[in-house]
């Protein structure tokens, strides 16, 4: 257990539905990252927060994806109008200072049917 908690662990949804995932970071970590990973690939960076500010968003992140970290603690990642191509593992990671060790959650596996 790394101290980073992600919920749910698994989500199956029908195409076109909206889904929301949650990440609870290590409390003293002010940086939080979201990644997406498909089979056989490495984690693909989506977005990151420093406290409540969203500092960077990947160009790969379509407008159907939105992330929030309202009080600089937990974060949510929402996917609207899900597509089959959204099926993947969604990983959350947190760090203290930039460039330090990242702690990953166990991920949320999304299956869009």
Partner 1 sequence: SQQGEEDPQALSIQEGENATMNCSYKTSINNLQWYRQNSGRGLVHLILIRSNEREKHSGRLRVTLDTSKKSSSLLITASRAADTASYFCAPSGNTPLVFGKGTRLSVIA
Q: Which residues bind partner 1 (CB under 8 A)?
A: 2, 4, 33, 35, 40-45, 48, 56, 89, 91, 93, 98-107, 109
Q: Judged by CB, which is closer to partner 1: 89, or 112?
A: 89
Least distance between partner 1 and beta carbon 64 (Å): 21
Least distance between partner 1 and beta carbon 28 (Å): 16
Give 105's contacts (C-beta < 8 A, 6+ positions apart). 2, 4, 5, 6, 23, 91, 92, 93
Angle at 43 between CA 102 and CA 109, to 5 degrees: 100
Block residue for tokens 């959350």: 92
Q: Judged by CB, which is closer to partner 1: 18, or 56?
A: 56
């Amino acid at each position: 257990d790394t101290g980073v908690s992600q919920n749910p662990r698994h989500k199956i949804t029908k195409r076109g539905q909206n889904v929301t995932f949650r990440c609870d970071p290590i409390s003293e970590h002010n940086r939080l990252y979201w990644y997406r990973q498909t089979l056989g690939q490495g984690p693909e960076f989506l977005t990151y927060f420093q406290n409540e500010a969203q500092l960077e968003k990947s160009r790969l992140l379509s407008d159907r994806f939105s992330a929030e970290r309202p009080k600089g603690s937990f974060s949510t990642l929402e996917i609207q109008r899900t597509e089959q191509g959204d099926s993947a593992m969604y990983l959350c990671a947190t760090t203290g200072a930039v460039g330090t060790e990242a702690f990953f959650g166990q991920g949320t596996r999304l299956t869009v049917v």
